[in-house]
């Protein structure tokens, strides 16, 4: 059984650890609020982009575009070259946050014939590299402090690979925070975009790719002129939309990571407090036992001294 000094050292060590977990909890709390605010500030702009894309596609449903899933070439391809953008954290101590994202990415990679990984965050990068996954080693991006600039750089890289047909499909794997107690790993197809997500279903059902029914389109909305061309405008809008989606995924992942870290630090603090309670009880018992033993020894010594005095008399 540990003595009083050993228990005191353990209590002191746990209290020092609690200071760290409480400080990390407070830091994650501030970062979480900042990430939520970033998302709220930029959401209106990207929702407007989505509406503009939807408006153009609704008026030109017969148009085949590089960034949408309505091209004949895409339908003929049997094996797709897939790219997975996996968003993880730069450090641990965040519960199962990194594990869940990496597990989902591994499941998707297992069912893909031809794929490549583009990992954001040090934890995921080291994990997949150690397991010999095809990770792009030049794709070096931090998960901390997501920004529009970083999202644009990632978009330029991914869109360039897609344009050069080195990738046929691009997916983003990230964590979405549903509430303070629940998070889910999301998998979203980034390229090519799905036309049905932007165009009203009833319009797609009425207009076939081989037909061009002016009356059907007029019933949906008025005609208007797009300069220089619908395809050029759509290309720019899609680029900004992809940038916005990646930025949103980075911010959402950052918020989820900080929320996971908050819960982990809160759990660690609660466990430390429970351990302190148990150790305090043990320390008090040992201390009481030591005091009792000292009293017993003093009483025994006094009795022995008293007997000795009687014998001398």
Looking up residue 64, the CATH number of its domain turns out to be 3.40.1380.10
- Of 61-65, 163-167, 204-208, 229-233, the range with the lowest mean pLDDT is 204-208
Q: Are residues 80 and 194 in the same domain?
A: yes
What is residue 73's predicted lDDT score, i.e. its pLDDT? Answer: 65
Nearby residues of 70 by Cβ (< 8 Å), 6 or more positions away: 64, 195, 209
Where is pLDDT greater, at 310 or 169?
Answer: 169
Q: Are the CB atoms for 65 and 209 separated by under 8 Å?
A: no
| Residue-range definition of the domain harbouring residue 187 | 27-264
Residue 257 makes CB contacts below 8 A (sequence gap 6+) with 89, 94, 97, 143, 175
pLDDT tens-digit map of 181-216: 778 888 988 888 777 767 654 444 544 444 444 444
Q: What is the band of 171 on the pLDDT scale with cuts at 50, 70, 90?
A: very high
Q: Is 111 helix (H, G, I), strand (E, B) or coil?
A: coil
- CATH number, residue 304: 1.10.287
162 lies in the same domain as 222? yes
DSSP secondary structure code for residue 72 in this structure: H
CA distance 180 to 256: 9
> In this predicted structure, which of 15-19, 246-250, 282-286 has the lowest mean pLDDT?
282-286
- 80 and 38 both lie in a single domain: yes
Range from 52-61, 126-135, 248-257 carrying the lowest mean pLDDT:
52-61
Q: Is pLDDT at 60 greater than 60 in this prediction? A: yes
**pLDDT at position 112 over 70:** yes
- Give the global pTM: 0.76
Note whether 198 and 282 are same-domain residues.
Answer: no
Residues 176 and 278 in one domain: no
- The total number of structural domains in the chain stands at 2
265 touches 21 (CB < 8 A): yes
Q: What is the pLDDT of residues 287-297, one digit of tens each?
A: 888 788 878 87
What's the gap between Cα 119 and its chain centre? 12
Same structural domain, 243 and 116:
yes
Q: Are residues 159 and 271 in the same domain?
A: no
Burial of 38 (0-12, 13-18, 19+ CB in 10 A): buried
CB contact at 8 A, 63 and 231: yes
Higher pLDDT, 116 or 5: 116
Q: Are residues 289 and 220 in the same domain?
A: no
Same domain, 118 and 215: yes
> Who wins on pLDDT, 115 or 55?
115
Do residue 171 and residue 303 come from a single domain? no
Based on the fold, state whether residues 151 and 68 are members of the same structural domain.
yes
pLDDT score of 85: 93
Interval 81-109 mean pLDDT = 89
Complete DSSP assignment for 15-51: HHHHHHHHHHHHHHHHHHHHHHHHHHHHHHHHHHHHH
Shared domain check, 278 and 155: no
> Cα-flanking dihedrals φ and ψ of residue 52, to 5°?
-65, -40
Task: State the pLDDT confidence band at 104, using cuts at 50, 70 and 90.
Answer: very high
């Amino acid at each position: 059984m540990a003595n009083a000094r050993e228990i005191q050292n353990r209590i002191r060590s746990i209290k020092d650890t609690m200071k760290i977990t409480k400080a990390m909890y407070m830091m994650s709390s501030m970062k979480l609020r900042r990430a939520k605010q970033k998302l709220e500030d930029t959401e209106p702009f990207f929702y407007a982009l989505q509406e503009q894309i939807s408006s153009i596609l609704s008026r030109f449903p017969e148009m085949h575009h590089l960034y949408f899933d309505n091209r004949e070439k895409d339908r003929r391809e049997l094996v797709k070259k897939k790219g997975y953008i996996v968003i993880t954290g730069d450090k641990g101590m965040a519960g199962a946050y990194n594990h869940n994202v990496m597990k989902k990415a591994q499941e998707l990679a297992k069912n893909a014939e031809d794929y490549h990984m583009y990992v954001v965050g040090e934890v995921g990068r080291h994990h997949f590299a150690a397991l010999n996954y095809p990770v792009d080693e030049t794709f070096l991006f931090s998960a901390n402090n997501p920004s529009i600039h970083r999202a644009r750089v990632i978009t330029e890289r991914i869109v360039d690979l897609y344009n050069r047909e080195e990738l046929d499909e691009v997916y983003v794997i990230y964590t979405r925070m549903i509430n303070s107690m629940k998070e889910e790993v999301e998998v979203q197809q980034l390229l090519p975009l799905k036309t049905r997500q932007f165009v009203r279903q009833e319009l797609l059902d009425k207009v076939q790719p081989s037909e061009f029914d002016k009356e059907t389109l007029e019933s949906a909305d008025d005609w208007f002129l797009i300069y220089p061309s619908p395809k050029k405008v759509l290309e720019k809008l899609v680029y900004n939309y992809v940038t916005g989606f990646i930025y949103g995924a980075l911010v959402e992942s950052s918020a989820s990571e900080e929320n996971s870290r908050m819960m982990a630090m809160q759990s660690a603090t609660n466990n430390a407090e429970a351990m302190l309670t148990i150790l305090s009880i043990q320390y008090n018992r040992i201390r009481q036992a030591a005091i009792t033993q000292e009293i017993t020894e003093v009483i025994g010594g006094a009795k022995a001294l008293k007997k000795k005095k009687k014998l001398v008399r």
